[in-house]
Amino acid sequence: AQRVTQPEKLLSVFKGAPVELKCNYSYSGSPELFWYVQYSRQRLQLLLRHISRESIKGFTADLNKGETSFHLKKPFAQEEDSAMYYCALSGSYNTDKLIFGTGTRLQVFP
């Protein structure tokens, strides 16, 4: 079955602390993995995807096929990182649907 699991509903940290948002997936084949972010009162937007291997806003995520994980990390959290983060997977075709995890709310306290 195709599934994305985000075990934490809420993650609270202080500014400057490291952050790791966990994501595990189940997929038969070679999926593409994404992290989407939704800031308060804003639309969902792509944060990063595993194939680009980019670091966006200080966030990185490495695809670990052995552990079927795609955890999102940032060494030093900022208050403006507070948002809802969704991990998602898709097949490799342009029209493939996204399967979302349940999301993790990140709260960064000053």
Partner 1 sequence: GAVVSQHPSRVICKSGTSVKIECRSLDFQATTMFWYRQFPKQSLMLMATSNEGSKATYEQGVEKDKFLINHASLTLSTLTVTSAHPEDSSFYICSATGVLAGVTNEQFFGPGTRLTVL
Site residues (vs partner 1, CB under 8 A): 32, 42-46, 49, 51, 86, 90, 92-103
* C-beta neighbour count of 76 within 10 angstroms: 12
CB 28 → partner 1: shortest distance, Å? 17
Q: Is the CB of 28 or the CB of 94 nearer to partner 1?
A: 94
Please state, in angstroms and rounded to a whole number, the distance separating the CA atoms of residues 110 and 62: 28
For residue 47 the two structure tokens come to 């944060």
Contact criterion met (CB below 8 Å) for 17 and 77: yes
d(CA 107, CA 82): 5
* Closer residue to partner 1 (CB): 17 or 44: 44
Q: Closest separation between CB of residue 102 and partner 1, Å?
A: 4
Between residues 17 and 51, which has the closer beta carbon with respect to partner 1?
51
Q: How far is the CB of 68 from partner 1 (least distance, A)?
A: 19
